[in-house]
Amino acid sequence: MRKLILSILGVAIIAISIYFAKSIANSKNRVRPVPVKVVKTVFVDTVKNATIPIVIPANGSLTAKRRVELFSEVQGVFSSGRVLFKPGQTYKKGQTLISISSTEYYSSVQSAKSNLYNAIAAIMPDLRLDFPEVFTKWQTYLNDFDLEKSTPDLPKIDSEKENYFVTGRGIISSYYNVKNLEQRLSKYNISAPFNGVLTEALVTEGTLIRNGQKLGEFIDPTEYEMEVAISKSFVALLKVGEEVNLSNLEKTEFYIGKVTRINGSVDPSTQTVTAYIEVKNDLLKEGMYLEARVNVKEEENAIEIDRNLLLENNEIFVVRDSLLDIVPVRPIYFSDTKVVLKDVPDGTIILSRPLQGAFVGLLVKKYIENKPN
């Protein structure tokens, strides 16, 4: 009985093995499915050559075009005035910025002027006798002489004899000594050379000011300049008087400037040339940081695309009969995000956005973007 059961199990196992073997053999004869070709959709644009302005971006901070650093040429105590000498204070042209006490020096000037007056008065009797023809003009000079006013110019000497006579009495040397003292006396008062504002004040009323000491800075707040660096390859195209678009970093304020000066030398370390842009606006302040867009050239028969569309070997992808291909191009100018190209025929269909994994011969489907005008 036991042998019978084992025989039946053996036959069953063999039968099952044969069944599975046939099933595996039959499965190898099935037809494999054909893989479906994947067609990628790409964003394209049709080339239309035009005149592309080449704009160079630059940036810099504003500095006042007219700036005066105030230094003292004399020594004395800073006297208080009608207007406080403080940063932000505005002054009109000719208004006193700083007044230094000059009482002692003023007395010495008046003494020298008095000596000149006495010296001229002493020669008047001799002039009446020896040079009656010039007596009148010297008498008029004395009559107009005022110790409280600036010393007037000496009368014109008409003859050699008169010159020797006046010079021999020390009149000429006394006169120039007085004028020298008056010139130095004027340095005790520093006046505003133009309408402006005080941006730095290093002294206050009552301070002892010394010769050569810096007192502050004074600027004209209506005119500013910005210094920018331009590549030497574009310097020949840049012209004085060229308008420049300026903006703040947030792109919320816009201004118009113009190129006023171009440096004549190239910076050897950066191979750039410095250009100076003048801008006028009541909202501007010294030290503000602005961005500039300098129009240096207009390139005809060119296109502008994103830099990431340009391949390493100066080639770009194009679409021909639903297949990707590449064509050589000639780059003219690179900016931070764009590149200007030439030698791309009109009507060529190019990619307008990068395609990951793109290669020549890839089957694609075109999608034309609607770009805003």
Q: Does pLDDT of 15 surpass 70?
A: no
- In 107-132, which positions are buried (b, 16+ CB within 10 angstroms) versus exposed (e)? eebeebbeebbebbeebeeebeeebe
Query: Which of 29-33, 189-193, 204-208, 236-240 is predicted with the least confidence, judged by mean pLDDT?
Result: 29-33
CATH number of 67-95+192-219: 2.40.50.100
Give SS3 for 252. Answer: coil
Give SS3 for 6. Answer: helix
pTM of the model: 0.66
Q: Does pLDDT of 372 surpass 60?
A: no
Residue for token pair 């050699």: 160
Task: Give the 3-state DSSP-derived string for 67-112, with helices as H, strands as E and coil as C.
Answer: EEEEECCCCEEEECCCCCCCCCCEECCCCEEEEECCHHHHHHHHHH
* pLDDT at residue 250, as a whole number: 86
* pLDDT at residue 74, as a whole number: 92
- 95 band by pLDDT with thresholds 50, 70 and 90: very high
- 184 band by pLDDT with thresholds 50, 70 and 90: very high
Q: Which two tokens stand for residue 174?
A: 């006394």
Task: Give the 3-state DSSP-derived string for 282-299, with helices as H, strands as E and coil as C.
Answer: CCCCCCCEEEEEEEEEEE
* pLDDT at residue 21, as a whole number: 64
CATH number of 56-64+221-298: 2.40.30.170
- 373 band by pLDDT with thresholds 50, 70 and 90: very low
CATH number of 42-52+300-368: 2.40.420.20
- 328 band by pLDDT with thresholds 50, 70 and 90: very high
Give the pLDDT confidence of 45-94 residue by residue, as tens digits. 889 999 888 888 888 899 999 999 999 999 999 987 788 899 999 999 99
- Residue 192 is classified by DSSP as -
Q: Average pLDDT of 27-31?
A: 53
